[in-house]
Each structure stands twice: as C-alpha cells, then as structure tokens.
Structure 1
Amino acid sequence: MIKNTLLPVAEFCQRRNNFIAQMPENSIALITASKEVTRSNDTEYPFCQNKNFYYLTGFNEPDAVLAMIKGDTSKPAQSILFSREKDSLQEVWHGRRVGQVKAIENYHVDQCFSLVEIEDQLLPLMVGKTSVLICLQEKNEFEQQVLAWLSQIRKSARMGVKAPSSLVDCSDIIAEMRLHKSTAELDIMRQVNLISGAAHQRAMQQAQAGKFEYQIEAELLHEFATNGARYPAYGSIVAGGDNANILHYTDNDDKLNNNDLLLIDAGGELAGYAADITRTFPINGRFNDAQKTIYQLVLDSQNLAINAIKPTQTFAGLNRIVCNFLTKGLYDLGILTGDLSVLLAQKACKKYFIHGLGHWLGLDVHDVGDYQPNEQREQLRPFAQGMVLTIEPGIYIPLSDRSVDEKWRGIGIRIEDNIAVTATGFENLTVNAPKTIVDIEAVMAK
C-alpha cells in the first residue's frame, strides 16, 4: 500500500507564485515554521510543521522563516528561506539538517540564509516596502518579533530609511488556496483514506469483549505506520459503550463490554494530509435490534447527504436534509414526541445530533477555509470542484437519558466519510472502511 507520497517541488513553487500574485505591490510576506515543543525536560513531542509554512515550502524543519518579496512590475519576485545552519555536532545528536545549499537545490527557493543571518539579510529587504504580510493568528511571538524589526527600521528614519507602514494578515489568502485541492493533493488524500480504512478494518477484526480501548488504538496506530502514515492526524477516539456519547473522548482506557458498541474516530496523516474517518460497530460482531435501528437511521441520513453533494451545494442545504430525516426518524421511533411539524421546524433531532454535519479537510483535520456563515450560523459557502469535506451525522443517547425507552440508552453512533467535490458531483475517498451492517458483521466474522 506504500507509494511515493511526496508532492513534486514544482507544486510548492506554483503555490508561492500564486500567493505572490495576490500580494500588494512593493510588499513582503513572512511565513514561519513551527518550533519544537518540549514534552518533558530535554525531550520534545514529535515535530509537526506549521501547515501554512509547509503548504508554501514542503520544508519540514523547525524555526525556519519564508520571505516572499514582491516589488513593482519591473522587479522579479523572490522567495528567500531562512533555516538552521549545518552543524555537525548538533546533527550527531539530533539528526541531519538540510542546510542552505540543499535548501535551494531541493526546494527551489531563490536564496537561503542561516537563521543567524536573518536580521542582516531580512531587514534591508523590509526597508522601503509599503506593507508586511504575516499570519496574525498563528504566532503572537513572531508578530512581536516583526514589530521589533519595524521599530528598529524606524529608528533610521532620519537617514531617509522608510519602514513599512502596515502589518497585514494574509491568513485568508492561504486558507482560500488550501481549500481547493490539486490533483496531486487529492491523490495523497485517497492514499491516506485507504490506509485509514484498512486500520478501521483491523480494529473491527481485533475488537472483542475484555480488551481495553487502548489496545484497539494500538492496532490503529500499527496499521497507519506499517503503511507509511507514521502518525495519526489527531488523537484517536476509541469509545466503547456510553463513552461514545462523549464527543471528544480520548482517554481510551476503559474495558470493552459484550453487547456494547465501539465508536472509533481515527485517521492517519500522510505527507501532511489528514484522513478523518468514524465507524461504529458491535464489540461482539453482531448488532442487536436497537443498535441496528439507530445505526441504519444514521447511515441512511449520511447517504442522503453524500448523494446530494455537488458544486453549488452548501453545508446549510445538507444540514436541512439530514435534520429533517433524523427528526422524522426519531419521531417514528418514539424517541422524539410531539407535533411532527413543530419538531421539524425546531430541528428537534439536535437534542441527539449535537454537532455539525461536517467540515473542510486537508492539511488540518478541521481545515482552514471560509464557511460563509450567516447570522443564524448557517454555512452558505457553495461547494466547488477540488474541495474536500467530511460528512459525519451521529445520534447520541446517553445512559442518563431517562426520557427514552431503556433499550436506546447508552447508544452513541457516528459515521464519517471524506468526500471530494468533483465537477459534476462527488468522490467518496473512504472506500474501504466497511459501514453497512452486512459488511461490518462480515468483516468481524473473519
């Protein structure tokens, strides 16, 4: 299943060109890499690159800074990287560094300087520019550094040096670019979905009463890493029984019980791109009647939503479809009571469907991109070819809910697939994670 998953360097170059084309004339953009984060004493968490920085460079070392300079029409734009210098002692202890020469060769930036040179090289590039673009919400520490550099430049104003007059947030420019996936990006997202779907199959086959949730989590991580997705895209949710009614349950330390369901929300990360898949299945391999009824209701609502995806559709439109269907279904089961027309108008299913229907997906699990909400928080952004999103309806009936028949209590079900919008409809990227009752029970019987 392992394939070459590296994006071509030309794609990163094109992204920088596209970004620069949207910069104001005579401006400079500064995009920063992540820093290493200490886990304990002198050890660090596994490094995770800043996604905006990675999107524009493909460079995966900490502390780096990308500068993109756009002059007037007479001057060519430039991309300049500042990164850690080669250091044989540090490399013996902590691993090889790309260095400045290889950075130019491998990442096709115009120039690369070491971080120790950043003030000497960068400040002259900022002089005379009208504006500096940074991602304001990402790194307050870097924002303070940029403000200090601007102050330093202003101190030379008496000598005719002109500092940029404005600091501009460029996050929305990158977010809009990231929202529309290229052919190469979609190929990686297909691969990470295949890897993650295989992990969900493995979890189904390994689950049994008496095991602990963390043991099933270990099976997921094994399948991810074996097939090239070394890290999960987010903390895996492995929630048995009533734990499924905790939306972001990540303790994963309970024992699995016979006759309970197991909800798993887990996806691998491949070349920076995330899968986000949820499956719910019976720990003993067979749905009981109550579980089967609620499960089929959720699955049918998901299929309705997915089949309605096409360009110009919206999350708001899909939510109306799903809320009407779930409200009617819960009413028919006696879980919701009252006047059906009133229940539909009130979206009464939200008592049990307590989260959103989906979100953008890409380099981040909850990926960047404007949903264009209105005052009622309806998400009106029309879908377009190349967008990738999740569809994840769910029904959650905690054990503590005494308003429903005892047979429904403790059932928590979510089903989540990853969907790419095509020119005429959709492509379901989540193709090998079983989700029909027949398929789940067949896989678990093996």
Structure 2
Amino acid sequence: MASSSHGPPEIAMELHALNRAKLVHSFRQYLKASSLPLFGFILLQGGGEQSRYCSDHVPLFRQESYFAYLFGVREPGFYGAIDVSIGKSVLFAPRLTEDYAIWSGKIKPLSSFKERYMVSLVCYSDEITEVLKSHYRGPGKPLLYLLHGLNTDSNKFSTPAKFEGIEAFQTDMTSLHPILSEIRVLKSELEISLIKYANDISSAAHIEVMQKSKVGMKEYQLEMIFLHHIYMHGGCRHCSYTCICATGENSAFIHYGHAAAPNDRTLEDGDIALMDMGAEYHFYASDVACSFPVNGKFTDDQRLVYNAVLKAHNAVLSTMKPGVNWIDMHKLAEKNILESLVAGGILVGEVDSMMEERLGAVFMPHGIGHFLGLDAHDPGGYPKGTERPTEPGLKALRTTRELKECMVITVQPGCYFNDVLLMPAMENPNTSKFFNQEAIERFRKFGGVRIESVVHVTSNGCENLTDLPRETWEIEAVMAGASWPLDSETIQKYKSTSSSSSSVAPEAPATEVST
C-alpha cells in the first residue's frame, strides 16, 4: 500500500478481493463438512442513505461494515453476490435518474465499478433476480445465503438482503453470519496497514490536542482540534465512534461525549483530561485514548492514578502473545491497578482478597479491550456456544477468547472514581474494609484515567500500533512544546526531573483506616 508525504495512502482494492476469496474458502469448507452441495450465492445488501427524520437532509453516508469488508464499495444502494461454486463476484448498482447528474455529479458507467472494485460482473440492482437465476449452477430453486446474526457487542442483528423477486429463491439465514464474523477476526497485512495508518494519524492528532490544551477552553474545542487534524492531514472524513473529550469529573463517565453530555465543559486548572478519539480510513478504525493534565503538569494524585493505569497497560502488552487468555489479561490489569492504589494509600489490605471480591470492577467497570477492524468494536468476540461471564467487571468483557496471531485488539485499562460504583462498595461489609475512606474522599471529584492502544498480535508477542507519549514526563515534555518522538536532550531533561518526583501519594497509616 503506497503512501505519500503529500496525502493519505492509496487504497489497495485487492484487499477486498482477498477477503472474498477467504470467505469462499471458509464457506466451501463449511458446506463440505456439513455434506451440503457447493452451489448458491452469498448475497449481501449494502447500506442505503437515510434522511434525517422527515427532512431531506442526508447525513454523510458510511458503508455497512460486512459489505465494506467484502466489496470496499463507498457508494450507497449496492448489492453484492458471490458464486459459491466458482468464487466469482457480482455487484449490483442502483439505476440512477438523470437528475442525479444535475445535483450530485456524473453518473458512472457500470464498467467503472467493475474496474474499481475488482469484481467479475456489474449489473443494475433491478436485475438481481434475472442475473442470479441465469448464473445459478446448481439443481432446483436457486439458493441464497443471506447475512443474519447477532452482534454480541451491540446485541443487534444484521439485516438480511431484501429485493423484489426474492421469493423465487431458497434462502438460508443461519450459515453465513458466523463464518463471515469469524474470518473478520484475523487481519491480513493489507488490513493491518490501514489500521496502522488510522492509528498513526490519530496519534498525531492526540498530540496536537495535548499541545493546544489550555485552561479556559471548552471540551468541544479539543474535539475540533482532533477532527481538523485527522481530516486536514490524514484524509479521514469519518471517526470510528463519537469523540470522548472528558475533563474533570466528566472523565469518570466511560462513554461521555454523547448528545446529552456533548463535550461542553470548560477546562479548569487542575483538571485531568481523558481523550478517547479515533480516526477511520477506508472503513478501518482506530481507537486511541490518552489522559493528561490540562495545565501540562501532573499533580501527585494525578501521577498516582495515571501510573497505576500505565503499569496495567504495560503489564498486559508485555504478556500478550498467541495462546494467552483475554480474561487473564483483564485480571492482570485489575491486579496492577489495585496494587498501585494500595501503594498509594487509597486502598489497604491484601490484593488477592480484593481480587476475590472483584474490587477491581469498582475502579475499572469496562473490559480490558476489544477487537478492532472495520468497526471500533469488531465482531467475533463471542462465537456461537461461548458464554459471557457474569461476574462484576468480567461481564463487560467484549471477548473471552485466547489470542491468536493476526488478531487486532485494544488494550484500554482505566481507573475511575465514580460514586455510583464507589459508594455501594464502601458500604458493603465484604469490601468496605479495603478502603481508606479519608483518601477516597480526596478523589471523589477526580474523574478518571484511561490509556488505550491498538495492538496487533504477532507470532511471538504483539506490536503496539499506537504511537503516543505515555510516561508522565513524556507527556509533560510534549505539552511544553517538544516534538514527538523526543530527542535525546529533551529526554534527559524531563526524565531526570520526573525521577525526582514521587509517583505515588504517601501511604496512609495502617492503623487509621476507616471502615
């Protein structure tokens, strides 16, 4: 995939041809194992433009992810079919009226779609019935394999294709979804290169946000800096998810930034900022979170909580490799955070006992990470037959699978001080004994810290695709105007200053713990 210093990388459309070939291979294996005939068509319906309620305003279209995975089509209104018997693919384009050329641009010939999207044939969508019936190679009524199944992250079902004349076909709505979801779990080199690019541009945008953050600004101004950077410098018109720009107490809320909490607080001196924002490039996502002091200097309390999360983040990265279980990674992150909170005098007691009582979920209620690809929360976390844990914290995991080479997954430990979770735990006789309530009171309005990186699982470890300052002294240097990566002189200056600063708050006397 070629890239240029003058713009974003070119798109290698063979990526989608390879994805289709991978699906055909897996699907034919499934049919053979099930003693089913190797005939029929895999048929998907792409996304369609939707106006805003009853108005004629149409928000910017983004293709449905399964369709994007197989065909890479950026336009709305398409269908795509793959012949299971021979692997050839057909695109069906909407038949546009002459008015389209007046309002929206030239009407492209079908041949242009055939060349761009590297398919065998392109027809109009009102020809689906005729074309598929004429190309069917099996006996009896032509068979369509349609996409229908549960997304275990959203708890919503994918929508199977519909078109006029579908009653002339047999339809199977159970076979395709689990196979297609599973092949999306392992990423090709071309996919990883797109994900890396999206993360590179997101990392650079986060650094600009750090450097331009000032007391008195609004949270949405930080969001604007990020959005401007990824589009201006990266050609990324879409984000992977709604931007989270949380400062002060808002940083305790995991998915702050939605319409009812619209990134509109004024930044105050002494705030911690939690920025969770990711660019999307050619459908492929990034998901990056960083935390930093709004004024550019960590307080002792901010350093304590931040380093607790960083320790967890680094412990998981150093342990990840094929065969490692994701539940174990979550528990490893929890244990590191609890150990740091004990060292800082916020908690007291045995960490193993805290783990048994699931105290880590009070401070990190979300899972340690999730698959990432065409969606920030990519499918495949819970294959059919896999049960979700029910314990606090663990039930929020988006997968419990063992890691495999070529998986791309996020590592996102966090530590939050949220009364909705803290108060019941401090009143529960099984967990109240672990709290230094005087110290906890100091953190009631602290908010939270999250550090998130996108990680590629390799044959013997992992590769971090996110490139950001993570140590507190690195963040302070960058916020003071240093370029990233830091040069040797800057490293010496800020690292030596940091080593003389305490990374944890003083421990509370063991005999004076309120329960």
Both proteins in one fold, TM over 0.5:
yes
Is the contact between residue 301 and residue 325 of structure 1 (CA under 8 Å) also seen in structure 2?
yes
Question: Within 1, Cα distance between the matches of 2:411 and 2:6?
Answer: 26
**Counterparts in 2 of 1:422-433, with a 5 A limit?**
422-431=458-467, 433=468
Is the contact between residue 327 and residue 347 of structure 1 (CA under 8 Å) also seen in structure 2?
no
Taking structure 2 as the reference length, the TM-score comes to 0.78
Answering whether residue 200 of structure 2 is matched by residue 194 of structure 1, we say yes
**Counterparts in 2 of 1:90-239, with a 5 A limit?**
90-124=100-134, 128=140, 131-137=143-149, 143=160, 145=162, 149-151=165-167, 153=168, 163-164=169-170, 166-227=172-233, 228-239=235-246
Is the contact between residue 360 and residue 367 of structure 1 (CA under 8 Å) also seen in structure 2?
yes
**Counterparts in 2 of 1:387-398, with a 5 A limit?**
387-398=407-418
Q: 1:171: how far off?
A: 1.8
Is the contact between residue 54 and residue 60 of structure 1 (CA under 8 Å) also seen in structure 2?
yes
Q: 1:145: how far off?
A: 2.8
Q: 1:55: how far off?
A: 1.0
C-alpha distance 344-370 of structure 1, shift in aligned 2 (>3 A): closer
Matched position secondary structure for 2:264: coil
Deviations 1:266-303 (A, max 9, x none): 01111111110001111111111111111111101110
Partner residue in 1 for 2:471: 436
Is the contact between residue 147 and residue 158 of structure 2 (CA under 8 Å) also seen in structure 1?
no
Letter in 2 for 1:65: Y
C-alpha distance 165-51 of structure 1, shift in aligned 2 (>3 A): closer
Counterpart of 1:85 (choices 80, 95, 120) is: 95
Question: Within 1, Cα distance between the matches of 2:52 and 2:191?
Answer: 31
Answering whether residue 21 of structure 2 is matched by residue 17 of structure 1, we say yes
Is the contact between residue 245 and residue 256 of structure 2 (CA under 8 Å) also seen in structure 1?
yes
Question: Within 2, Cα distance between the matches of 1:100 and 1:225?
Answer: 30
Is the contact between residue 19 and residue 173 of structure 1 (CA under 8 Å) also seen in structure 2?
yes
Unaligned regions of 5+ residues in structure 2, if any?
32-37, 151-155, 427-436, 482-515
Q: 1:365: how far off?
A: 0.3
Partner residue in 2 for 1:415: 451
C-alpha distance 318-341 of structure 1, shift in aligned 2 (>3 A): closer
Matched position secondary structure for 1:105: helix
C-alpha distance 297-52 of structure 1, shift in aligned 2 (>3 A): same
Partner residue in 2 for 1:38: 51
Deviations 1:320-349 (A, max 9, x none): 211222222223334334554321222312
Counterpart of 1:360 (choices 332, 348, 371) is: 371
**Counterparts in 2 of 1:211-290, with a 5 A limit?**
211-227=217-233, 228-250=235-257, 251-290=262-301
Matched position secondary structure for 1:67: strand
Partner residue in 1 for 2:83: 69
- Which 10-residue stretch deviates more, 390-399 or 120-129? 120-129
Partner residue in 2 for 1:159: none
C-alpha distance 141-349 of structure 1, shift in aligned 2 (>3 A): closer
Answering whether residue 347 of structure 2 is matched by residue 336 of structure 1, we say yes
- Sequence identity (%): 29
Partner residue in 1 for 2:380: 369
Is the contact between residue 323 and residue 349 of structure 1 (CA under 8 Å) also seen in structure 2?
yes
Partner residue in 2 for 1:156: none
Letter in 1 for 2:102: V
Counterpart of 1:48 (choices 59, 62, 77) is: 62
Deviations 1:89-134 (A, max 9, x none): 2032123444412112222222111123233334555683574211
Q: Which segments of structure 1 move beyond 6 Å, counting only runs of 4 or more? A: 138-141
Q: CA RMSD in A?
A: 2.4
Is the contact between residue 128 and residue 164 of structure 1 (CA under 8 Å) also seen in structure 2?
no
Q: 1:3: how far off?
A: 4.7
Question: Within 2, Cα distance between the matches of 1:92 and 1:437?
Answer: 55
Is the contact between residue 85 and residue 100 of structure 1 (CA under 8 Å) also seen in structure 2?
no
Is the contact between residue 233 and residue 274 of structure 1 (CA under 8 Å) also seen in structure 2?
yes
Question: Within 1, Cα distance between the matches of 2:217 and 2:70?
Answer: 44
Question: Within 2, Cα distance between the matches of 1:165 and 1:33?
Answer: 18
Letter in 2 for 1:110: S
Matched position secondary structure for 2:463: strand
Is the contact between residue 130 and residue 166 of structure 1 (CA under 8 Å) also seen in structure 2?
no
Is the contact between residue 27 and residue 129 of structure 1 (CA under 8 Å) also seen in structure 2?
no
Q: 1:143: how far off?
A: 3.6
Is the contact between residue 46 and residue 64 of structure 2 (CA under 8 Å) also seen in structure 1?
yes
**Counterparts in 2 of 1:288-367, with a 5 A limit?**
288-367=299-378
Is the contact between residue 372 and residue 409 of structure 2 (CA under 8 Å) also seen in structure 1?
yes
Kindly tell me the number of residue pairs found equivalent between the two proteins: 430
C-alpha distance 399-258 of structure 1, shift in aligned 2 (>3 A): farther
